Amino acid sequence: NAGVMQNPRHLVRRRGQEARLRCSPMKGHSHVYWYRQLPEEGLKFMVYLQKENIIDESGMPKERFSAEFPKEGPSILRIQQVVRGDSAAYFCASSPQRTGEDGYTFGSGTRLTVV
């Protein structure tokens, strides 16, 4: 089992460009969660998706950020018109069902740098 795969591991974008972060959940997992880790900050919940559905996007910034988890293929976190403040590590996690005390499995993250 390859675990949760995120790519790219590192992404550099100029201000105003778009960033697309991909996450392939573990085999058999249909629930995906995105978290952001800003420098000197803890992990912050962004969005929870199931196949073709956004369940909870209460942690997503209102503008420029969107997420999807299509029927086929990886989950995508998309950031349009990136700004320096978007520089952070973005982690994806997955679980076989809506998670409880057993937590979820995180990927190794995508480190976005906006220059």
Rule CB under 8 A: which residues touch another protein? 4, 31, 33, 35, 40-45, 48, 56, 58-59, 91, 93, 95, 98-109
Q: Which residue lies nearer to another protein by CB, 82 or 107?
A: 107
Q: Which residue lies nearer to another protein by CB, 17 or 54?
A: 54
First to last CA, the chain: 36
Q: Which residue lies nearer to another protein by CB, 50 or 81?
A: 50
In the complex, least distance from residue 70 CB atom to another protein, rounded to whole angstroms: 20
Does the bond joining 8 to the residue before it have cis omega, within 30 degrees of 0? yes
In the complex, least distance from residue 33 CB atom to another protein, rounded to whole angstroms: 7
CA 86 – CA 11 distance, rounded (Å)? 12
CA 77 – CA 34 distance, rounded (Å)? 8
Instruction: Report phi then psi at 71, rounded to 5.
Output: -60, -40
